[in-house]
């Protein structure tokens, strides 16, 4: 089970890739969406390391899109969440909800 349990940043990346349209799920928009939704800055290195790790785990697949003029003729690497990635997200969600369960009263009494 621990092999399939995702880290927090891995979850964020997979969820953002799911939210973006197929032709928008490449590095720059993924990074912007993470920053917009979490309020955290994300370095390119951290993002691409995570994308590579998720692809090696087979939670993401990628393909090269067409070259574009605004990118100086370079192609985009487009990402898609795989069925294994969806399963890993479901497992992580169930696990975290189980951990949160029963702690509401403790957490409500804790000052923020």
Assigned CATH for 8-95 = 1.10.10.10
As a whole-number percent, the residues of the chain with pLDDT over 90 amount to 72
Which residue stretches of the chain are H helix?
Answer: 8-19, 27-38, 44-56, 83-100, 104-108
> What's the whole-number average pLDDT of the chain?
91
Mean pLDDT of 90-103: 93
pLDDT higher than threshold 60 for residue 1 = no
- Is the separation of the CB atoms in 75 and 56 below 8 Å? no
The ranges assigned to domains in the chain are 8-95
């Amino acid at each position: 089970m621990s092999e399939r349990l995702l880290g927090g940043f891995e979850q964020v990346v997979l969820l953002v890739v799911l939210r973006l349209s197929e032709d928008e799920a490449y590095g720059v928009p993924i990074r912007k969406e993470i920053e917009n939704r979490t309020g955290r800055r994300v370095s390119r290195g951290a993002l691409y390391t995570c994308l590579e790790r998720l692809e090696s785990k087979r939670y993401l697949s990628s393909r090269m899109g067409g070259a574009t003029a605004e990118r100086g003729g370079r192609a985009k690497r487009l990402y898609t969440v795989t069925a294994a990635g969806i399963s890993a997200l479901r497992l992580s969600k169930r696990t975290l909800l189980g951990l949160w369960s029963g702690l509401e009263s403790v957490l409500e009494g804790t000052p923020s």
